[in-house]
Structure formats: structure tokens, C-alpha cells
Amino acid sequence: MLDIECFSFLNRALEDDMAPVVIVATNRGITRIRGTQNMSPHGIPIDMLDRMIIIKTVPYQEKEIKEILKIRSVCSDGWISIPV
């Protein structure tokens, strides 16, 4: 979990022309930003949150998992038996 100083560093780094892509995964909901008494979604400062794209993810379905396993099996020259 990042605190306010880490977020400040990331904010400065993201302003550079050669800024990296930063991926943040969280499920914290509305919570306190570490190092402060401020509350915000996911514990991320509002100014940084405004610059983010939020992508909601959902668990894979059984059919999708089977397809992924088949593809990985073929790619790794392995063999797998998946019940139908």
C-alpha cells in the first residue's frame, strides 16, 4: 500500500515526457490515504485519481478458463485433459 509520499513521487514521475505506464490494482473502496487523514476512493489522492483510467474486471467464466488452458497447453507443448 502506497502512502502520500509515494503518490507524490509517482505524480512527479508521470509528468515527464518519457513517463512509464503505471498499473495500479486495488479493491479498497473508500478509505483513508496513508499518511493523511483524508478519505478517497481506493486510498488514492484525488488529483492522481483524476488522471487515471479505471477498468472494472470480472472473474473468468468456466468456458473461458478451459480455452485459456487449452491455448497454454498447446503453446508449452504440453498435454491436458479437460472434462466437458
Inform me whether the pLDDT recorded for 43 exceeds 80.
yes
Kindly tell me the number of DSSP H helices and DSSP E strands found in the chain. Answer: 3, 2
Q: Are 70 and 80 in contact (CB under 8 A)?
A: yes
Q: What is the CATH number of domain 4-81?
A: 3.40.50.300
pLDDT of residue 75: 74
C-alpha 18 chain-centroid distance: 21
Torsion angle defined by CA atoms of residues 18, 24, 29 and 31, in that order, rounded to the nearest 10 degrees: -60
Confidence of residue 12 (pLDDT cuts 50, 70, 90): confident
Global confidence as pTM? 0.58
Q: Which set of grid coordinates corresponds to residue 1? A: 500500500
Domain boundaries, the chain: 4-81
Inform me whether the pLDDT recorded for 61 exceeds 90.
yes
Q: Are 51 and 14 in contact (CB under 8 A)?
A: yes
The whole-number average pLDDT for the span 37-54 is 88
